[in-house]
């Protein structure tokens, strides 16, 4: 267990984020956003802005910067700013003012007068449900699916034949990632090409996208992001400031810095969609699930950039059932882009499914844990591929004992003015990995460098790299220097989908094995210190015939300063043999005030099965963060769209996230079963699983305390007022 290597630089202010990079002659860009949600730009009066003190240039769709639509459509979205006059949402970037100072650019931006040809905007998700379209477009979108038992004609028949059924509709709010670091970029051109300092989730992706947008060679673009102040899916794609700073720096011939204001982050980036989900469950009297139906609707912008894959992401993979039907619909609205956000699909999906399972437990007069254990799946319904490793029942057993679940009574208990209830829910997240390449360099001073282009946006990947590198090279972690956050490094380790540890970690193991082979070959080669003798490696040393030398000594003996190789891994065969998922049991105690109806989360426990744990300290902090996100989704977060498409609460005063006083002591426990079927590292990743199920556990606890079932998050006091 070690503290994160980036901890000290971050807390002492030494860490340099994108906007901390400064260059001689650098100028500043400020974004202008639309104030209508649907229509066309008729004119933009920019003369006053252009003449304002310190202003260098004003870019608009009438006088655009040269930016091409990237073909790669990274993450399903290819939009680049300022290229057309169509307005599809309130807060869409429509201008970019560049001046000698940030203040001058901002002041000048306020002088621009915009006129529009306005069209009626569709901004209400509820109204849009009537015109929902098939949601098979976009990343993770998928056509309807059903699995039916022999002789069963339809899911309706299966539900009708069930002894006990539950049928309910749930709603979840649109959310913003609200990372502490707003999206920003500093772009510098020189003789070799372009360097952009910009926070992201893996620098090779934006480097590729910028090369396409600027129509230059891939090799001429370098993206650097040594420190990232949070991402959560919201920094997967190249940000608007990065596109604009890069293009403006080329046009103006000087470095350009651009950063979004906090308010601009809410509309000039992308958000998690809102969802409506209808769930029908059918069971036998003994609790055996026989039918699961999950119909989902997701908000999406007019560009259909992303739909929240709740039904496909949740119900298919959670419980054993003979009959299953899932569908996904998209509701296009005049709202900002939507995208991946921490546990996309599973986070809001689990609120619906795991609330419905609790409702079924009530209908069956059954303990909710017993109901979940009865329906534990060994493979996704309708598939033969068994889970590689699943210890969910053990998570529930340990959790029930730690949390005092046996003291729960069906009606909760009363403590003075507070109604106290307990709730539980399952957590699940798919086990994934992505292609990754990692470079290892052995140095003559007996140190090693491990490098890959991915990012550590707060996840702990930098430290994980040094730990896995040290273990693979059989040397202490102090002698390993990990490097991330530069597209000039070997490509890999994208921080998304809870994959970085399994992806970059397994590539590190391959690279280490390769570099050790090379080292041994070198040592035994003609003229080498072990010329012609069979050599072996252990403990950072090369051995032959009872003699040994450190790898640094071997390199020095050969007059080499270093020895470098790369190693690559990619998902492959394993997915034809097993299904992969991480698992967890969430436990929650809430206190609801008898009169004010205030909901306080008073205790939380999460027990997780996520394969091997590389760094217990960082793992725990990742899991804590996710569980806090779950509380936030249940009680605080939600974007409110006004009729004209403006967000009513697009700042951190109105967009609520929890503060210390909202969060109790959180207990976390890990059962540790290394999953070497997924990758040699044995880890399945844990950045996302711990958010999953928390909101349902809270709603289930509120029901236990009050007898009131809340089917919409964030929960409001008024939802708990009795008529
Ligand atoms: Mo994420 S939503 O795993 O980038």
Domain ranges of the chain: 7-120+177-271, 122-175+272-339, 385-429+572-723, 436-570
How many CA atoms are closer than 13 Å to the CA of 595, on its beta-carbon side? 2
Cis (ω within 30 of 0) for the bond into 85? no
The stretch 581-600 carries a mean pLDDT of: 97
Phi, psi angles (nearest 5°) of residue 167: -140, 115
Q: Which atom of ligand 1 is nearest to the CA of 497?
A: 3
pLDDT tens string 239-262: 999 999 999 999 999 999 999 999
Which two tokens mark 56?
A: 């260098």
Ligand 1 pocket list (CB less than 6 A): 201, 233, 236, 340-342, 344, 496-497, 688
CATH 3.20.20.150 fits 122-175+272-339, yes or no: no
Q: Is the pLDDT score of 535 beyond 70?
A: yes
Q: Find out whether 112 and 45 touch, Cβ atoms under 8 Å.
A: yes
Instruction: Name, in order, each residue with C-beta under 8 angstroms of 118's C-beta and a sequence gap of 6 or more.
Output: 36, 38, 39
The mean pLDDT of the chain is 95
Distance of CA 616 to the CA centre of its chain: 20
Helix 240-252 vs helix 204-214: angle between axes, to the nearest 10 degrees? 50
With a CB cutoff of 8 Å and minimum separation 6, the contacts of 126 are none
Q: What is the pLDDT of residues 660-697, one digit of tens each?
A: 999 999 999 999 999 999 999 999 989 999 999 999 99
Reported confidence tier of residue 76, pLDDT bands at 50, 70, 90: low
Find, among 629, 586, 601, the residue nearest to 357 by Cα: 586
Residue of 497, 502, 625 to mutate, ligand 1, most atoms within 8 A of C-beta: 497
Lowest-pLDDT range, 509-513, 535-539, 572-576? 572-576
Q: Structure tokens of 504?
A: 């970059």
State the pLDDT at residue 138: 58
7-120+177-271: CATH number: 3.90.1170.50
Region 290-316: what's the mean pLDDT? 91
Confidence check: pLDDT of 440 > 60: yes
- What is the CA(236)–ligand 1 centre distance, in A? 8
Nearest atom, ligand 1, residue 498 CA: 3
State the Cα–Cα distance between residues 526 and 664, nearest whole angstrom.
65
Is the per-residue pLDDT at 75 higher than 80?
no
* CA 358 / ligand 1 centre spacing (Å): 28
**Residue 585 corresponds to which tokens in the numbers above?**
């049991």
pLDDT digit string, tens, across residues 475-516: 999 999 999 999 999 998 789 999 999 999 999 999 999 999
Q: Rounded to the nearest whole angstrom, what is the distance from the C-alpha of residue 335 to the centroid of ligand 1?
A: 21
Closest CA relative to residue 91, chosen from 649, 720, 698, 590: 649
Looking at residue 139, what is its pLDDT?
Answer: 56
Q: Name residues whose C-beta falls within 8 Å of residue 61's C-beta, 6 or more positions apart in sequence.
A: 41, 44, 82, 83, 84, 85, 94
Confidence (pLDDT) at 73: 59
Same fold yes or no, 122-175+272-339 and 385-429+572-723: yes
Question: Which atom of ligand 1 sits closest to the CA of residue 233?
Answer: 4
**Is the confidence at residue 723, as pLDDT, over 70?**
no
Give the model's pLDDT for residue 382.
81
Calpha distance 388→609 (Å, rounded)? 12
Strand partners, 283: 164, 289
Opening angle at CA 266, ends 214 and 40, nearest 5 = 65
Q: Is the pLDDT of residue 171 over 70?
A: yes
Query: What's the Cα-to-Cα distance from 191 to each of 220, 248, 400, 598, rounded to whole Å?
Result: 9, 17, 63, 61
The domain made up of 436-570 has a fold known as: Aldehyde Oxidoreductase; domain 4 (3.30.365)
Residues designated catalytic: 688
Predicted confidence (pLDDT) at residue 649 exceeds the cutoff of 90 = yes
Please state, in angstroms and rounded to a whole number, the distance separating the CA atoms of residues 396 and 610.
Answer: 14
Rounded average pLDDT over 376-395: 93
d(CA 276, CA 578): 32
CA dihedral 335, 340, 345, 347 (to 10 degrees): -100
Residues pairing with 224 in the sheet: 197, 486
Separation of alpha carbons 372 and 357, rounded Å: 8
CATH topology of domain 385-429+572-723: Aldehyde Oxidoreductase; domain 4 (3.30.365)
Taking the mean position of all CA atoms in its chain, how far away is CA 500?
11
Closest C-alpha residue for ligand 1 atom 4: 233
Range name among 133-137, 301-305, 422-426, 483-487 with the lowest pLDDT average = 133-137
pLDDT value of position 212: 95
C-alpha closest to that of 680 among 510, 566, 480, 497: 510
* 496 Cα to the center of ligand 1, angstroms: 4
Q: What angle do CA 568, 534, 537 make, to 5 degrees?
A: 50
- What's residue 1's pLDDT? 66
Closest atom, ligand 1, to C-alpha of 341: 2
Please tell me the predicted confidence (pLDDT) of residue 638.
98
């Amino acid at each position: 267990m070690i503290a994160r290597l980036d901890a000290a630089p971050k807390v002492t202010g030494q860490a340099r984020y994108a906007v901390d990079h400064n260059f001689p002659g650098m100028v500043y860009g400020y974004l202008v956003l639309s104030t209508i949600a649907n229509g066309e730009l008729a004119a933009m009066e920019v003369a006053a802005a252009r003449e304002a003190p310190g202003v260098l240039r004003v870019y608009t769709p009438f006088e655009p910067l040269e930016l091409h639509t990237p073909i790669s459509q990274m993450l399903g979205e290819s939009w680049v700013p300022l290229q057309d006059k169509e307005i599809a949402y309130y807060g869409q970037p429509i201008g970019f003012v560049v001046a000698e100072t940030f203040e001058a650019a901002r002041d000048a931006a306020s002088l621009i007068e915009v006129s529009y040809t306005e069209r009626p905007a569709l901004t209400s998700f509820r109204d849009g449900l009537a015109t929902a379209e098939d949601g098979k477009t976009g990343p993770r979108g998928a056509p309807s699916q059903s699995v039916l038992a022999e002789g069963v004609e339809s899911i309706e028949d299966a539900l009708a034949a069930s002894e006990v059924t539950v049928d309910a509709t749930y709603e979840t709010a649109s959310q913003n990632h609200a990372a502490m670091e707003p999206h920003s970029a500093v772009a510098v051109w020189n003789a070799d090409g372009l360097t952009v300092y910009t926070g992201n989730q893996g620098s090779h992706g934006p480097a590729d996208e910028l090369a396409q947008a600027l129509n230059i060679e891939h090799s001429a673009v370098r993206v650097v992001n040594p420190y990232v102040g949070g991402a959560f899916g919201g920094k997967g794609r190249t940000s608007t400031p990065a596109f604009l700073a890069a293009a403006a720096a080329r046009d103006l011939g000087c470095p350009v810095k651009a950063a979004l204001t906090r308010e601009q982050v809410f509309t000039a980036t992308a958000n998690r969609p809102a969802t409506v989900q209808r769930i029908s469950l059918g069971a036998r009297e003994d609790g055996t699930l026989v039918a699961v139906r999950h119909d989902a609707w997701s908000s999406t912008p007019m560009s259909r950039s992303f739909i929240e894959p709740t039904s496909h992401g949740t119900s298919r993979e959670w419980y054993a059932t003979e009959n299953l039907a899932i569908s996904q619909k998209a509701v296009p609205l005049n709202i900002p882009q939507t995208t991946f956000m921490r546990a996309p699909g599973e986070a809001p999906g689990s609120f619906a499914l795991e609330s419905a399972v609790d409702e079924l437990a009530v209908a069956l007069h059954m303990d909710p844990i017993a109901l979940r254990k009865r329906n534990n799946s060994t493979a996704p319904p309708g598939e033969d591929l068994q889970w590689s490793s699943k210890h969910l029942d053990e998570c529930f057993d340990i959790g029930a004992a730690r949390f005092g679940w046996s003291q729960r009574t069906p009606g909760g208990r009363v403590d003075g003015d507070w109604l106290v209830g307990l709730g539980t829910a399952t957590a699940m997240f798919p086990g994934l990995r992505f292609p990754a390449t990692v470079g290892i360099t052995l140095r003559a001073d007996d140190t090693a460098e491990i490098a890959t282009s991915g990012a550590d946006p707060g996840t702990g990947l930098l430290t994980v790299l040094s730990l896995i590198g040290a273990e693979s090279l059989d040397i202490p972690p102090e002698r390993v220097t990990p490097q991330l956050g530069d597209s000039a490094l070997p490509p890999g380790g994208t921080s998304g989908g809870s994959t970085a540890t399994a992806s970059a970690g397994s590539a590190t193991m391959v690279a280490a094995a390769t570099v050790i082979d090379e080292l041994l070959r070198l040592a035994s080669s003609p003229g080498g210190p072990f010329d012609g003798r069979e050599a072996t490696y252990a403990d950072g040393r090369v051995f032959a015939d009872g003699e040994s030398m450190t790898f640094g000594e071997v390199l020095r003996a050969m007059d080499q300063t270093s020895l470098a190789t790369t190693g690559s891994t990619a998902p492959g065969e394993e997915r034809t043999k097993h299904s992969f998922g991480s698992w967890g049991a969430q436990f929650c105690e809430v206190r609801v005030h008898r009169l004010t109806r205030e909901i306080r989360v008073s205790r939380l426990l999460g027990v997780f099965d996520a394969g091997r744990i590389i760094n217990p300290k960082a793992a725990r902090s990742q899991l804590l963060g996710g569980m806090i996100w779950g509380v936030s989704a249940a009680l605080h977060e939600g974007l409110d769209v006004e009729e004209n498409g403006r967000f009513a609460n697009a700042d951190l005063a109105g967009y609520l996230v929890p503060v210390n006083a909202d969060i109790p002591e959180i207990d976390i426990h890990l059962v540790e079963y290394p999953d070497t079927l997924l990758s040699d590292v044995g880890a399945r990743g844990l950045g996302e699983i711990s958010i999953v199920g928390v909101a349902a556990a809270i709603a289930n606890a509120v029901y236990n305390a009050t007898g009131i079932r809340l089917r919409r998050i964030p929960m409001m006091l008024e939802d708990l007022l009795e008529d």
